[in-house]
Structure 1
Amino acid sequence: MSGTGAPTVQVDGRGLRVAVVAASWHTTVMDGLLGGARRALAEAGVAETDVAVVRVPGSFELPVACARLARAGRYDALVALGVVIRGGTPHFEYVCQAATGGLTQVSVDTGVPVGFGVLTCDDEQQALDRAGLPGSTEDKGHEAATAALATAVALRD
């Protein structure tokens, strides 16, 4: 069962600058993910003025936007949020692989942590269950933001 075994992470993000890059497909799910990321950043003490939100069309576009932001040198961490729901064609596998590999490459090449908040689900209900909405069992936007901050702090220290 997903969600079990997750660590409890508390991080002091004061003074960090963070960009959240969020896809636009599946508005309800994306609103939940973005809300969770914003909550995590606020709970960690990241000033609202130190948070930029960039919207892109879909999950496939997340790596290029994150790469540009990471190379700009203005952000200590990035949070990538998206959702891909399986359909009847191989499109799902291509987009998931491109987003995952692209975001990993951005982080490794630039040294800027990228919190991975891309849901890869079999159906819409799985996405809703992970979106951090009222009634959701998980809050993957919050988790992705917390992971990015914790990594930025670990690398800084």
Structure 2
Amino acid sequence: MAGQSHYTLPRPEFDRAVKLLIVVAPYYRDIADGMLEGARAEIEACGGTHETVEVPGALEVPTAIGIADRQSNFDGYVALGCVIRGETTHYDTVCNDSSRALQLLGLQGLCIGNGILTVENHEQAAVRSDPADQNKGGGAAAAALHLIALARKWGGQRKGVGFRPASDEYRIAGQTKGPSTA
């Protein structure tokens, strides 16, 4: 609604720099560019660094984030894109599946700001993507930054919880044994 104000959390502060990956689907380039501008400004305002990769569409954004998490060292992720309602139900599939996949990644411990716009028309997207207006790209980056701050507060991610790496030696009933030669 026009004129309605929203509360915004204070920008988090970090004792060591954060590194984020921005994954953007530039299907609507003008919308993506505005969102990128807002996201980059928000990350830089916290003293963070960022890299940006492009993927074909909103459905590929969560997959790229999953790959990056397994194969790189980012503290968090910013998902950017825009889905505009069309004449078919494809809109519903893309909106629901991209959002659900991002949420599942988040529940696994990834710090993700979801900035995939789901709108009725290009005009709505333009207002939401404009860094001088609703700045949803900046908002997605802020969400990721706040989650990173929480993860650091609570000790960071714990990959492999409950599992110990194999070692050359192991203990059986108080005895140290060497590697098996069987």
Q: TM-score, normalization: structure 2?
A: 0.78
Q: Which residue of 1 aligns with 2:11?
A: 10
Q: Number of aligned residue pairs: give it.
A: 151
Q: Which residue of 2 aligns with 1:66?
A: 65
- Which amino acid in the other structure matches residue 89 of structure 1? T
Q: Which residue of 1 aligns with 2:143?
A: 147
| Aligned 8 A contact 1:70 1:106 in 2 | no
The verdict on how the C-alpha distance between 1:97 and 1:69 changes in structure 2, with shifts beyond 3 A counting, is same
Consecutive unaligned residues of structure 1, counting only runs of 5 or more, are none
Report the secondary structure of 1:82's partner residue. Answer: strand
CA distance in 1, matches of 2:64, 2:53: 8
| Aligned 8 A contact 1:80 1:114 in 2 | yes
The verdict on how the C-alpha distance between 1:122 and 1:6 changes in structure 2, with shifts beyond 3 A counting, is farther
| Aligned 8 A contact 1:21 1:55 in 2 | yes
CA distance in 1, matches of 2:147, 2:39: 15
- Which amino acid in the other structure matches residue 22 of structure 2? V
Aligned-pair CA distance for 1:73: 4.7
1:84-111: CA deviations, max 9, x gaps? Answer: 00011001000001110011111212x1
| Aligned 8 A contact 1:25 1:58 in 2 | yes
Kindly report which structure 2 residues correspond to 1:5-44, keeping only aligned pairs within 5 A, or say none: 5-13=6-14, 14-44=16-46
Q: Which runs of 4+ in 1 moved over 4 A?
A: none
Q: Which residue of 2 aligns with 1:118?
A: 116
Q: What is the CA RMSD across the aligned residues, in angstroms?
A: 1.6
| Aligned 8 A contact 2:22 2:78 in 1 | yes
Q: Which residue of 2 aligns with 1:92?
A: 91
Q: Which residue of 2 aligns with 1:52?
A: 51
- Which amino acid in the other structure matches residue 38 of structure 1? R
The verdict on how the C-alpha distance between 1:84 and 1:58 changes in structure 2, with shifts beyond 3 A counting, is same
Higher relative contact order (CA 8 A, sep 6+): 1
- Which amino acid in the other structure matches residue 60 of structure 2? E
Consecutive unaligned residues of structure 2, counting only runs of 5 or more, are 154-182
Q: Which residue of 2 aligns with 1:128?
A: 126
Q: Which residue of 1 aligns with 2:169?
A: none
1:13-33: CA deviations, max 9, x gaps? Answer: 551111000002000000000
Report the secondary structure of 2:59's partner residue. Answer: helix
- Which amino acid in the other structure matches residue 153 of structure 1? A
| Aligned 8 A contact 2:131 2:137 in 1 | no
Q: Which residue of 2 aligns with 1:82?
A: 81
Q: Which has the larger radius of gyration?
A: 2
CA distance in 1, matches of 2:5, 2:114: 18
